[in-house]
Amino acid sequence: EIVLTQSPGTLSLSPGERATLSCRASQSVSGTYLAWYQQKPGQAPRLLIYGASSRATGIPDRFSGSGSGTDFTLTISRMEPEDFAVYYCQQYGRSPRTFGQGTKVEIK
């Protein structure tokens, strides 16, 4: 199965700063078959990005995704207070679908 490795494990930022999260796959996910989710404590994950760079409905444009093959990036251009959460990547280029271990973005 494809192993997704997210880095860093924890990112400490202040509101207004830019966040750059990485997701690296152990083998190609067949192009851009990658999604990003946000999860806040006690809540279900919420889809942010699919197809590596397409924003889901209702997601603010400060969230953007890029990459293909094995290297992907989620960027939050300016952190808002509600953006502090855990972020997961998920590949759907190969079965079984797998998730990264998550990056926690915390308030500095």
Partner 1 sequence: QVQLVESGGGLVKPGGSLRLSCAASGFTFSDYYMSWIRQAPGKGLEWVSYISSSGSTIYYADSVKGRFTISRDNAKNSLYLQMNSLRAEDTAVYYCARDRVLEFCSGGSCYTLGWFDPWGQGTLVTVSS
**Should residue 95 be labelled a site residue for partner 1 when binding is judged by CB under 8 A?**
yes
Name the residue type at position 56.
A
Cβ proximity to partner 1: between 67 and 100 the closer is: 100
The least CB distance from residue 106 to partner 1, in Å, is: 15
Instruction: Please pick, from the candidates 24, 55, 62, 97, the single residue that binds partner 1 as defined by CB under 8 A.
Output: 97
C-alpha to C-alpha distance for 34 and 46, rounded to whole angstroms: 14
What are the structure tokens assigned to 53, written together?
Answer: 């760079």
Tokens of 8: 């860093």
Look at residue 73 and give its three-state secondary structure: strand
In the region spanning residues 13 to 72, those forming contacts with partner 1, defined by CB under 8 A, are: 30-31, 33, 35, 37, 43-47, 50, 56
Residue 96 interacts with partner 1 (CB under 8 A)? yes
Instruction: Measure the CA dihedral 37/14/11/56, to 10°.
Output: 10
Q: How far apart are CA 90 and CA 82, in angstroms?
A: 22
101 near partner 1, rule: CB under 8 A: yes
Binding residues vs partner 1 (CB under 8 A): 30-31, 33, 35, 37, 43-47, 50, 56, 88, 90, 92-102
